[in-house]
Chains A and B, each alone.
Chain A
Amino acid sequence: MPFPHVPLLPVLRWATFGLLALTGGLVLVGTILQYRKDRQNRHRIACYQAWETQLTDYLFKKGYEDGSFGPVSWADRWLFRDFLARYQSTIAGQEFELLRELYLGMGLHASLPQRLKDRDPNVRAQAAKEISVFRLDEPAEHAPPPVTERPWRWKPGVRMEGYLDQVLPLLDDPVPFVAHTAAQALTHSRSLRFAAPVLAWVMREELYQRERLLRVLEGFGPDLLPWMKENLESPNQNPEPWILYALLVGSHRHRESLPRLLWLLDVPSVDLRASVLKALIILADPEVYPRVLSFAASPAWEIRAQVARALGVLGGPSAVPDLLPLMTDPVYEVRRNAAQSLVDLGHSGVSALSWLADDPASDRFARDMARERLEWADERGHL
């Protein structure tokens, strides 16, 4: 079958021309975009350099007076906001209060509600952080003087309260670091009205992640513990939040919570008991030794492993006879913790380990573990 007649040369010519025009157009657009970006960068650097000098004058020489920082054009306000953000995590005290005055005085907080809903997760996180750092929700008793006395700062109709409530939905943000920043902003306020949602957010995470998130919860301060005691479900019904409670008692070294910890030991949950034992190790009260010892024969190895650490800390050298049976435990972690406790006890513990290591009649696992830990201690100069 014959091919239809196609005028090949003109088609090729037009296609080449079209391709060249397209490439030229793309290059032109790219150049324009790059030029704009360079211009913006140059402008940003120039602004930052000027503002750095102005800021040090403002912080250390002039102090806050209306306009003492110098004018910032409306178009550069977003740039100025980013400029101030650089100081949020480094400057505190009197200088930070002056930064806060500047931030509020320029009305930079007015855009927060929109920024909390921005499509860019960095913008959402930054907005949540600003609310927390610049204390945009501080209680009325700490609020500055009335509007009439400071008209430069308080635009009519701009309320300071309620900003943190707008951060709350970010706890459900699909981007983890935004949710994390929101939780930090809420805990930083120390307001226990946010304790329930933040705790619920922590509980949605995997168990291993929760321990990492304790730092966020610690932001509420020691008042969180009594709040948890009053508001959590019974540990028999839901032991999981009580694991956090136990770990928080440990991190705050909150000795008043000792009776509650001992009570939690009765709850038949392995993870909860192990966490309570961890907290008891930190509180280090020798009175609880007999209670801890009663868990040495627990069927759960996680509990026995914690007991092996706790006995050495709580009992001192007198714990050696109770630690030796744990050296023959079938689980490696338990034997290792028992051996470590013996090393930490010093002379009496090391003597017991040396005896185990040298006695051919001792349990094979106990003997190997004793040798391993003695070598470990020797390498580090602990012997």
Chain B
Amino acid sequence: MTRRWPAQTTILVVEDDPATAKIIQVRLEMEGLKVLVAANGMEALEILHREQVDMITTDLMMPAMNGFRLVQEVRDLAPPKGRIPILLLSSNHSEQDMVRCLAAGADDYMAKPISVQVMVERLWRLYERSHRVG
């Protein structure tokens, strides 16, 4: 299925590993998305306050502020920012973590290693769903 992202759709990639962040960034830019990159939750919140962001994909384990905390902080923001779709990526495969993250307000969860193609597809589904619901 062809994805048609609206122009200037912005996604915030929160990832402490620059190598992974770069791969994700390039692939998402190929989709025509505007990509902002943050190295941890604190940086991500700063960007969120400054910029218009349509979606977030975040790693779980990060220094300064982890993904779990970031999800909680984002959900505490006033709408529409508080309702931004969030996809969590984690190298921890535990069921407990998965449940904890979804309960905190993440919209979807992917365990590392990730296929970037699958991630793009999931982001598209999240985007579609949030705009249908919104």
With A56-B26, A59-B23 already in contact, the answer to whether A91 and B116 are too (CB < 8 A) is yes
* Interface size, chain B (Cβ < 8 Å): 16
Q: B residues bordering A, Cβ < 8 Å?
A: 17, 19-20, 22-23, 26-27, 30, 91, 112-118
Q: Which residue of B is nearest A93, CB measured?
A: B115
- Checking B17, B26, B117 against A90 with a beta-carbon cut-off of 8 angstroms, the contacting residue is B17
Q: Which residue of A is nearest B91, CB measured?
A: A89
- A and B contact pairs by CB, cutoff 8 A, 26 listed: A52-B19, A52-B22, A55-B23, A56-B22, A56-B26, A59-B23, A59-B27, A60-B27, A86-B17, A86-B19, A87-B20, A89-B91, A89-B112, A90-B17, A90-B19, A90-B20, A90-B23, A90-B91, A90-B113, A90-B114, A91-B20, A91-B115, A92-B114, A93-B114, A93-B116, A95-B115
Number of A-B residue pairs having CB atoms within 8 Å of each other in the complex: 52
> Which residues of B have CB within 8 Å of A88?
113
- Min CB distance A207 to B, Å, is 22
CB pair B23 A87 closer than 8 Å: yes
CB pair A93 B118 closer than 8 Å: yes
CB pair A90 B22 closer than 8 Å: no
CB pair B113 A92 closer than 8 Å: yes
CB pair B117 A87 closer than 8 Å: no
A96 at the binding interface (Cβ < 8 Å): yes
Q: Which residue of A is nearest B112, CB measured?
A: A90
| Complex-state Cα separation, A38 to B118, whole angstroms | 40
A94 at the binding interface (Cβ < 8 Å): yes
- Min CB distance B78 to A, Å, is 26
Q: Which residue of B is nearest A51, CB measured?
A: B19
- Min CB distance A79 to B, Å, is 14
Tell me the interface secondary structure of chain A in the complex: helix
> Which residues of A have CB within 8 Å of B116?
91, 93, 95
> Which residues of A have CB within 8 Å of B91?
89-90
- Min CB distance B100 to A, Å, is 16
- Checking B22, B113, B115, B118 against A89 with a beta-carbon cut-off of 8 angstroms, the contacting residue is B113
Q: Which residue of B is nearest A59, CB measured?
A: B23
CB pair A93 B117 closer than 8 Å: yes
- Chain A 54-66 interface 0/1 with B at a Cβ cutoff of 8 Å (1 = within): 0110011000000
Q: Which residue of A is nearest B27, CB measured?
A: A60
| Complex-state Cα separation, A60 to B115, whole angstroms | 12
5 tightest Cβ-Cβ pairs between the two chains A and B: A93-B115, A92-B113, A56-B26, A90-B20, A86-B19
- Min CB distance B52 to A, Å, is 26
Q: Which residue of A is nearest B15, CB measured?
A: A90
> Which residues of A have CB within 8 Å of B113?
88-92, 96
